[in-house]
């Protein structure tokens, strides 16, 4: 239960930075990979709704794209071997598909710096969420 609150708190705190780096998508990807599929779908709806409310230019588009991509990734998760290179490649593909889908719904220019920065910042964020969310940093050796 505390992990779910941690995800919601991290999502809420990341919304102002979502215009520069897609931290909300990183948190959503982590939830899709590590948590229950039902919670992942509910969380995808929450991420999309909060993103739509925070950036009202594309009202409704983010919710549809996030839920669709979450369902697709939940289906494909069975076929993935989850090691760091595969996880980073999967996130990169997910992010590029999300960017393309949102640019189809809302005509906006594609910012290459934002894409590269988001992909480069994903591994430390995923590592941090893994350590904090699952309490690995508290275990004694």
Comparing 49 with 130, the larger pLDDT belongs to 49
pLDDT of residue 111 exceeding 80, the answer is yes
pLDDT of residue 138 exceeding 60, the answer is no
Mean pLDDT of the chain: 87
Predicted confidence (pLDDT) per residue in 82-103, tens digit: 888 999 999 999 999 999 988 8
Measured distance CA(120)–CA(21) in Å, rounded:
10
When pLDDT is averaged across residues 1-11 and rounded to a whole number, the result is 86
Q: What is the pLDDT of residue 134?
A: 67
Which of 17-26, 53-62, 68-77, 128-137 ranks highest by mean pLDDT? 68-77
Q: What is the pLDDT of residue 27?
A: 93
What residues have CB less than 8 Å from 103, skipping those under 6 apart?
A: 110
Which residue from 139, 130, 109, 129 is spatially nearest to 23, judged by alpha carbons? 129
């Amino acid at each position: 239960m505390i992990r779910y609150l941690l995800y919601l708190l991290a999502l809420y705190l990341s919304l102002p930075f979502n215009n520069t780096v897609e931290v909300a998508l990183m948190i959503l990807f982590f939830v899709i990979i590590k948590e229950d599929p039902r919670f992942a779908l509910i969380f995808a709806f929450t991420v999309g709704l909060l993103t739509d409310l925070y950036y009202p230019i594309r009202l409704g588009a983010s919710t549809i794209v996030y839920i669709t991509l979450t369902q697709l990734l939940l289906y494909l998760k069975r076929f993935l071997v989850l090691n760091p290179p595969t996880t980073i490649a999967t996130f990169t593909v997910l992010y590029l598909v999300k960017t393309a889908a949102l640019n189809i719904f809302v005509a906006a220019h594609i910012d290459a710096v934002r894409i590269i920065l988001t992909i480069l910042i994903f591994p430390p964020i995923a590592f941090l969420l893994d350590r904090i969310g699952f309490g690995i940093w508290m275990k004694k050796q």
